[in-house]
């Protein structure tokens, strides 16, 4: 029996596949390679190229393979793009998940672990954020992820399927082997953008706002290593396989760093001065997002092991300096 990883050629999906295979699990990947890379596909996994919006495609995967449960990463995830092109996000994230769920129900596949986000909370009422805190997304990306969670809830009620939703905070870092890492085009995330400076691809890093109500005026985020996220998916799938109820978990280290602190840590790791320039605030950015992950620790037994910020940046730097253009496939 295999685990089907949808979006297994993407950043967090590919790292999860590596951990599943290391744990001796059988893995099937489906990915449309719109943002994922064939090179990120683990050679020991079965791979199907196709789109979850294509019912015949997803049906054929369930018919050919013997699938125990699904881990679902197949979605668009750029906050800025979701604001300028919201219908793309409704189409891929919501319509795609609708087709997927129809096919899962038809094939009696009743377990799904789902990649959600801290963006479901919007401006937090307090930090650290608890899973029970209010959800009022400030961007369309977060809105579609929250709607996907609700789609699972109602489908579960009607058809008995069970789900775990994992709300990630700031995913970062790369596999310690250096074989896979973060490769977005365009890149919008802080750590890879900072590392473009010592890599000779950018002259300075822009700081989006230094007038927030934080210790140095820059935004605070909870940076969580991608391999720690990957482990949480395996624990969540095991929880469902053992009969666990529907659940939602935050995944973060519970420690916040300002943009300036992240830049300083990258200077220490790379030995480069990394010039910075102040820039206006970016629309939709809350001042601080920090997770309480006590629930994932208590119920899933999750324990992040790559929590140190410098170590996280070292793994990212190890990837980016050896793969300055990311994967070699054209985008
Ligand atoms: N950020 C920044 N400069 C950049 C990119 C990001 O100052 O070139 C800030 C951004 O405003 C946010 C933090 O870095 O406060 C993390 O942003 P990222 O896009 O990595 O993740 P997000 O928190 O949006 O999911």
User: Model confidence over 74-132: pLDDT tens digits?
Assistant: 999 988 899 899 999 999 999 999 999 999 999 999 999 999 999 999 989 999 999 99
pLDDT along the chain (331 residues), means of 10: 97 98 98 97 98 98 98 93 94 97 98 97 94 95 97 98 98 97 92 98 97 97 98 98 98 98 98 98 88 98 97 98 88 65
Q: Which residue's CA is minimally distant from atom 18 of ligand 1?
A: 189
Ligand 1 site residues, Cβ closer than 6 angstroms: 79, 170, 188-190, 193, 205-208, 219, 221, 259, 282, 285
User: 267 CA to middle of ligand 1, Å?
Assistant: 17
pLDDT at 160: 96
Nearest to 149 by CA among 118, 104, 123, 127: 118
Q: Which residue's CA is minimally distant from atom 20 of ligand 1?
A: 189
pLDDT at 331: 65
- For the CA of 189, the nearest atom of ligand 1: 20
From the list 89, 121, 141, 239, the catalytic residue is: 141
Q: Which residue's CA is minimally distant from atom 1 of ligand 1?
A: 190
- For the CA of 205, the nearest atom of ligand 1: 8
Pocket probe for ligand 1: among 76, 119, 190, 215, the residue whose CB has the most ligand atoms within 8 Å is 190
Catalytic residue flag (residue 204):
no
Alpha-carbon separation of residue 123 from 22, 133, 137, 150, 286 (angstroms): 38, 11, 7, 20, 5
User: 161 CA to middle of ligand 1, Å?
Assistant: 36
pLDDT at 199: 97
- pTM (predicted TM-score): 0.97
User: 259 CA to middle of ligand 1, Å?
Assistant: 7
User: 4 CA to middle of ligand 1, Å?
Assistant: 31
Check if the beta carbon of residue 10 is closer than 8 Å to that of residue 40: yes
pLDDT at 201: 96
């Amino acid at each position: 029996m295999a685990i089907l990883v949808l979006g297994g050629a993407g950043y967090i999906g590919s790292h999860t596949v590596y951990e599943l295979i290391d744990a001796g699990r059988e893995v099937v990947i489906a990915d449309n390679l719109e943002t994922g890379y064939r090179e990120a596909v683990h050679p020991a996994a079965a791979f199907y190229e196709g789109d979850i919006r294509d019912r015949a495609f997803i049906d054929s995967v369930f018919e050919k393979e013997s699938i125990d449960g699904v881990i679902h990463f197949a979605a668009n995830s750029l906050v800025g793009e979701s604001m300028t092109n919201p219908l793309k996000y409704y189409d891929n994230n919501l319509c795609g998940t609708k087709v997927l769920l129809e096919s899962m129900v038809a094939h009696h596949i009743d377990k799904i672990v789902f990649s959600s986000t801290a963006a479901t909370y919007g401006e937090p009422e307090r930090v650290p954020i608890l899973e029970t805190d209010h959800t009022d997304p400030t961007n369309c990306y977060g809105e579609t992820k929250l709607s996907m969670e609700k789609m699972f809830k109602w489908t579960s009620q009607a058809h008995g399927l069970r789900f775990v939703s994992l709300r990630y905070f700031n995913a970062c870092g790369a596999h310690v082997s250096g074989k896979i890492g973060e490769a977005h085009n365009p890149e919008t995330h802080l750590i890879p953008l900072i590392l473009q400076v010592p890599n000779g691809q950018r002259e300075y890093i822009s700081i989006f706002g230094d007038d927030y109500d934080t210790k140095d005026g820059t935004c605070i985020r909870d940076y969580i290593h991608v391999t720690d996220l990957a482990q949480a998916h395996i624990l969540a799938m095991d929880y469902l396989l053992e009969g666990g109820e529907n659940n939602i978990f935050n995944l973060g280290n519970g420690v916040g760093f300002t943009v300036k602190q992240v830049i300083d840590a990258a200077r220490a790791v790379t030995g480069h001065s990394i010039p910075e320039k102040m820039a206006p605030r970016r629309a939709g950015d809350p001042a601080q997002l920090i997770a309480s992950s006590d629930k994932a620790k208590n119920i899933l037994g999750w324990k992040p092991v790559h929590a140190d910020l410098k170590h996280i940046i070292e793994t990212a730097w190890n990837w980016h300096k050896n793969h300055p253009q990311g994967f070699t496939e054209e985008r």
